[in-house]
Structure 1
Amino acid sequence: MDSASFIEKRRFIVKLGKMLHKFGTPAYRLEAHLQEVAKLLKIGGSFAITPTVLTFVLWVPGEENEYTHISRVTPGELDLGALSYTDELVDALASSKLTLQDVNQRLDQIAAAPNPYSRWATFAAFGAAGGAFAMLMRASWHDVFWATVLSLIVYLFVLWSMKSRRVAHMLEPLVALVSALMATAVAVYIDPMINVPLVVLSAIIVFIPGLALTLGLAELAARHLVSGTARVMDAVMLLFKLYFGAFLGVALGQVLFGQIPPQIAPSVPEWTSWLAVAILCGSLVVVFKARLRHALWGLVSGFIAYAASLFGAYYLGLALGAFVGAFAVGLYGNLFNRLMNAPASIVSLQGMIVLVPGSKTYMGLNAFVSGQQIVSTEQLGQQTFLIFMSLVAGFIFANVALPPRKAL
């Protein structure tokens, strides 16, 4: 292999790895995918991926020409649409429909592409996600309404953070603080029937790192110890920042506005849980920037996760119900991978969001610090730990029962 060809191929692999990391691909999937691409291009490759450092070692088999690239990066954010487009480009390269130069140009276009959804659509999605979570937690209609309102206000701070680096650095505790202050004011002056901690949790649910915790544990289970440990610790610190902001906000609110009146409104009807799953998964299509052609698949993933977990919980208990739900979502995602020739994570992530107990982790932290429970739940800490383990095991078993055709 001549030197120019090797340089072109190594640059492509480095660019591809950085882009897929930017789109939120877990380390164990990204490393496996890059190995497949290197094999496709007939060069050797060894990769070490973590949330903040990417290491590429590339060489020509049988030759001494070796290249090492180390890059310091920031943890990626989920962009399912860009992930799908990038995967299609690699398929086109593998089938010789596009040349390496063409794929390189289109990768640049994907990286520079704007959000496929308008700010108004994302604004509505944030509000819908907060209200849907409150509904899923069987809160009252009062809680659902105010959780939606506060979630919309939270998105305004997200927009602000895009223009201010200082706000971006303190975004998570800031939105939790503001949400808690406003929820306390609402409870004192406008609507005393709300559950303030639950409304605050619902308003910031988009930031709760339940998915990151689950992915980190999955990386640890796959023996990607450095990446998994880093992802878990990053998620834990994010959870601490959110909880401290909320705790401080409620404390300041009680000083400024007075004590919150202890009144409880009746819960929403049980059937609204199904409506909440539909609204939540629909909002995640926009938040995760998924393509519209995959929106229905993602919606079905959420319903499969919820229905399977309820079925499993009825016969096996809550924790093992999560295992059944994760197993069903894993099978569904791998089936989508085979039928649509697209990454399974495009649809399985929405089912995971329905299943992951990130909110339970936040509730457990609240019970540990304040001694009060946001919602009445027995053995909350034990349940949370078992659910996390069940989720990881469910996806591992699903990959054994129906292996995906793609690493992504």
Structure 2
Amino acid sequence: MAEELPVSIAERRLDNVPHYPDRHEPVGFMLRLVKALHTYGVPSYELERLMTNVADQLGYGLQTTAVPTSITMTFIQDEDKPRTYVIRSNAGEVNVDKLSRTTDVAHAVINGEMSTEEGAKELTEIANSAPLHNKFWMIFCFMIVSICISRIFGGGVEEIITASVTGLVVGTFVNIGGLRSETVSNLMPALSAFIATVISFGFNYWLGLSSTYIPVVSGIMVLIPGMMLTIAMAELATQNLVSGTARLLGAGVIFIQMTLGVAIGTQVASLIFGQASITTSIDHQLPEWTVWLAITISSWALMMLFQSRSKHLPWIVVTICLSFFISRWAGSYMGVATGAFFGALTVGVFSNLAYRIKQVPTAAIMMPGFIILVPGSVGFKSLTELLEHNIIGGLETAFNMMIVGVSLITGLLVSSIATLPKPAIKTETTVGPEDNE
């Protein structure tokens, strides 16, 4: 009887591919290691460099090309003919803990502390391990992030209430409903934006919101591809043009899906609640201290969403609060782009310090830090303005998004002295495994 095909070829285990090298062989181990790193979101420029170091340690020549949907690896050893393998793979779950443990395996092999057999066994354990925080915590934290983002964007009580419901419903849909079908998963940005828009207009009908835009963007903020956009620009800056362009277009498609979801949601809401349109005005403000409370709480919620360990929370809170303050202060005096530069510089510096002092994975700090700084919400706003036929405003906002993105990458370049962001990648020659809680 033929083996049942998996849901997605990109998610197919290499163990199930006929005639592939065994995972305990050096080549088989490297193929599985590169797919794991790619799945957990390591940028192309860092992935290629790390795998070259692994291959050198194992006595192989290696050429690697990684793009968002596939990896090509050519192995050369002694007088043997080069062997080329192509792996179909997509970026998968956002899991800082698994990413950190996988890179620990890579560096242990590079340093001669672990054999390929031991490394292969460890990769299997990592892949099969349960998430640190279950899906019910994910739903709760999705709602908390929506509430906090709503306040950070200047929302009042009504907007915060609406954002809480939006975040709860969208979070439930993403963490439960979206896992049942690959088609639903692919349409998740559009469906989530549709749900958030209808809920926002419903609460506007009942409560009278000052801004219908804030609850919408707050409810889908975690899904906005700001980090993807930033990594794409980093890859372009390092001359990984194919990968950077593909990732940039991928982020653009997600933005377009979200805009389509808002457009359809607006039309449906107009039929149900009467004439509806996206509004961005804010007529009232809560006390300033509530912003800092929202920043602190969102740090904890983002730590949970990205599957980081709770012992890293103090570093995450300090970095996010300080980068937000510096970005805001610099932006008020020197412009938004300059503020983004100094904010990214702060995140990069503290990520490096946290790693050097306490071995905190850089991704544990960079990923939540960039949710606050990345221009994803700006890009979404530019498309909604185009949707409202504000062509000049939409193009101006999109241009500002690109300027902010360049500023973020420049800040990260400077923070690491011309070494670009390395999510959980370790650079020392001797690295021990991360402590477990």
Q: Work out whether the TM-score is over 0.5.
A: yes
Q: 1:232 aligns with which of 239, 248, 252?
A: 248
Preserved contact between residue 193 and residue 265 of structure 1 (Cα < 8 Å):
no
Alignment match, 2:190: 173
| Distance change (3 Å), C-alpha of 1:67 and 1:341 | farther
Preserved contact between residue 220 and residue 229 of structure 1 (Cα < 8 Å):
yes
Measured after TM superposition, the shift of residue 6 of structure 1 is 12
Alignment match, 1:115: 131
- What stretches of structure 2 of length at least 5 have no aligned partner? 1-20, 429-437
Q: 1:59 aligns with which of 46, 60, 76?
A: 76
Alignment match, 2:385: 367
AA aligned to 2:230 is: T
Q: How does 1:203-214 map to 2 (within 5 A)?
A: 203-214=219-230
Q: How does 1:147-296 map to 2 (within 5 A)?
A: 147-158=163-174, 159-188=176-205, 190-260=206-276, 265-296=283-314
Alignment match, 1:144: 160
Deviations along 1:118-143, one digit per CA (max 9) or x if unpaired, are 22211111001111111110111210
AA aligned to 2:408 is: L
AA aligned to 1:406 is: K
Preserved contact between residue 187 and residue 193 of structure 1 (Cα < 8 Å):
yes
Measured after TM superposition, the shift of residue 274 of structure 1 is 1.7
Preserved contact between residue 312 and residue 360 of structure 2 (Cα < 8 Å):
no
Q: 1:34 aligns with which of 51, 65, 80?
A: 51
Alignment match, 2:414: 397
Q: How does 1:337-356 map to 2 (within 5 A)?
A: 337-341=355-359, 343-356=361-374
Greater Cα offset, 144-153 or 392-401: 392-401
Preserved contact between residue 24 and residue 117 of structure 2 (Cα < 8 Å):
no
AA aligned to 1:145 is: I
Measured after TM superposition, the shift of residue 377 of structure 1 is 11
Q: 1:406 aligns with which of 426, 432, 435?
A: 426
| Distance change (3 Å), C-alpha of 1:25 and 1:5 | closer
Q: 1:14 aligns with which of 12, 15, 31?
A: 31
Preserved contact between residue 150 and residue 215 of structure 2 (Cα < 8 Å):
yes
Deviations along 1:247-287, one digit per CA (max 9) or x if unpaired, are 21012111222135989651222222222222222211121
The count of aligned residue pairs is: 401
Greater Cα offset, 32-41 or 118-127: 32-41
The whole-number CA distance in structure 2 between the counterparts of 1:101 and 1:138 is: 54
Alignment match, 1:23: 40
AA aligned to 2:142 is: F
Preserved contact between residue 212 and residue 232 of structure 1 (Cα < 8 Å):
yes
CA RMSD of aligned residues (A): 2.7
Alignment match, 1:388: 405
| Distance change (3 Å), C-alpha of 1:335 and 1:254 | same
Preserved contact between residue 263 and residue 387 of structure 2 (Cα < 8 Å):
no
AA aligned to 1:297 is: W
- Identity across aligned pairs (percent)? 27
SS in structure 1 at match of 2:207: coil
The whole-number CA distance in structure 2 between the counterparts of 1:141 and 1:6 is: 55
AA aligned to 2:307 is: K
TM-score by length of 1: 0.91
Preserved contact between residue 356 and residue 388 of structure 1 (Cα < 8 Å):
yes
- What stretches of structure 1 of length at least 5 have no aligned partner? none
Measured after TM superposition, the shift of residue 114 of structure 1 is 1.9
The whole-number CA distance in structure 2 between the counterparts of 1:118 and 1:133 is: 22
Measured after TM superposition, the shift of residue 320 of structure 1 is 0.8
| Distance change (3 Å), C-alpha of 1:57 and 1:339 | farther
| Distance change (3 Å), C-alpha of 1:390 and 1:102 | same
| Distance change (3 Å), C-alpha of 1:270 and 1:194 | same
